[in-house]
Amino acid sequence: MPVDTPDNSEIKVTKFDDDGNEIVEDEEKTDDLEVTDEGEDDAKTEKKEPEMKTITKQVWDWELINEIKAIWLRDPSDITEEEYNGFYKTITKDAENPIAYTHFTAEGEIDFKAILYIPGTAPFDLFENYYQKSSALKLYVRRVLITDSFDELMPKYLSFVKGVVDSDDLPLNVSREQLQQLKMIKVMSKKLVRKTIEMIKDMAEEGIEEDNEEEDDEAEDDAEEVAEDDDQEGEEA
């Protein structure tokens, strides 16, 4: 006779407490504890941390090396003759002092400052290669040297005049050819020529005055000699 064997999977264990109450426990009880990967927790923690940025700043420490102001920018009344002569020798490499100079500021269509010199001795090649000579003036724009021989500033018959010209009105970033075509250059040239001729006229007038003074001195000496001769003749008589 077959015997029914109980299914162990359906067996429940019944327990009673001290008061006779039934306590039922399920054998298939699972743990609700959530297991997490430590690596994932570390990654989440790292994401929560604020991002750090590195900012690089450049600080420039400027030092003024040359405190001397350009001589042509200074007031002429504050400049001594020795300073003018020294500046002339610096830009020309000439050992002698100039015979005359003029320092002026021009205003109008174009503003510029200039110092012009007439050398004490005429250049040995003054009349050689006349048509190939260029101006001996140094052209500055905002204290930046553009060229030290610019033909458009002075005519060839005044090529012996030396000096500097500085203007804030001229453009810096232009070629030599473009600079020659500027109307302002022609205006500057006219003013420079006029100032040079005035300087030469002043030299001529000073020369005439000196000649007249020498003639007056000679006339006085002659008169004194004649008077002395007359006195001697009177004494002999």
Instruction: Taking residues 191-203, report their average pLDDT.
Output: 93
| Burial annotation 136-168 (CB, 10 A radius, 16+ → b, else e) | bbbbbbeeeebbeebbbbbeeebbbbbbbbbbe
Instruction: Taking residues 121-149, report their average pLDDT.
Output: 78
Q: Looking at the domain assignment, is residue 39 inside a domain?
A: no
- pLDDT value at position 16? 62
Is the confidence at residue 17, as pLDDT, over 70? no
Nearest to 163 by CA among 95, 113, 109, 111: 113
pLDDT per residue over 139-191, tens digit each?
A: 999 988 888 877 788 888 888 899 999 999 988 877 777 777 788 888 999 99
The answer, as to whether pTM is greater than 0.75, is no
Give the confidence band of 206 by pLDDT, cuts at 50, 70, 90: confident
Is the confidence at residue 36, as pLDDT, over 60? no
Higher-confidence position of 55 and 28? 55
Q: Looking at the domain assignment, is residue 230 inside a domain?
A: no
Higher-confidence position of 9 and 89? 89
Higher-confidence position of 175 and 5? 175
Instruction: Taking residues 58-75, report their average pLDDT.
Output: 74
By residue range, what is the domain housing residue 148? Answer: 71-200
Query: Are the C-beta atoms of 135 and 153 separated by less than 8 Å?
Result: yes
Mean pLDDT, rounded, of the chain: 76
Q: Looking at the domain assignment, is residue 229 inside a domain?
A: no
Instruction: Taking residues 43-55, report their average pLDDT.
Output: 67
Q: What is the DSSP annotation of 12-74?
A: -EEEE-TTS-EEEE-SSPPP-PPP--HHHHHHHHHHHSPPP---------------PPPGGGS
What's the N-to-C CA distance of the chain in angstroms?
206
- pLDDT value at position 30? 47
- pLDDT value at position 212? 62
- pLDDT value at position 78? 92
Q: Looking at the domain assignment, is residue 163 inside a domain?
A: yes
Q: Looking at the domain assignment, is residue 36 inside a domain?
A: no
83: domain CATH number is 3.30.230.80
Mean pLDDT check: name the lowest of 44-48, 60-64, 146-150. 44-48
Q: What tokens appear for 182 in the block?
A: 């500027």
Is the confidence at residue 7, as pLDDT, over 60? no
Instruction: Taking residues 226-233, report their average pLDDT.
Output: 59
Q: Looking at the domain assignment, is residue 27 inside a domain?
A: no
The number of folded domains in the chain is 1
Q: Looking at the domain assignment, is residue 215 inside a domain?
A: no
Please count the residues of the chain: 237
